[in-house]
Amino acid sequence: MATYKQLMAQTEALEAQLAEVRSTEVAGAIEKIRSLMAEFGLTAEDIEGKRRRGRPAGSGVAKAAREPLPLKYLDPKTGKTWSGRGRAPAWLGKRPELFLIAEEA
């Protein structure tokens, strides 16, 4: 039976052999890639991943600027307002009709 030190030495020898074999295979792969790039006239920019998931930012037609929604509720103490869209603010409480802004006709 092998001792711990012997097994560790074998592990280190195998790791060194792995690193050497990997470096030679990587060098061969790089050379193959370079020859294919030269054969087809490709550059590094051609190979880089340009596509990402979804739509790229700024693509397509720009959306028309929306006008802000008219305000429906006003907190007289703080001056905070709410248009009625989204989550209701805490200051509105259970009786939002108390904070309604009178409609201008």
pLDDT at 8 over 80: yes
Give the tokens for residue 18. 């792995």
How does pLDDT run across 61-73, given as a tens digit for each residue? 666 778 888 889 9
User: Tokens 């690193």 label which residue?
Assistant: 19
Query: Domain boundaries in the chain?
Result: 4-47, 68-105
Rg of the chain over Cα atoms, rounded to whole angstroms, equals 34
pLDDT grade for 58, boundaries at 50, 70 and 90 = low
Q: Rounded to whole angstroms, how far apart are CA atoms 69 and 86?
A: 12
pLDDT at 34 over 70: yes
pLDDT at 105 over 60: no
Average pLDDT of every residue of the chain = 87
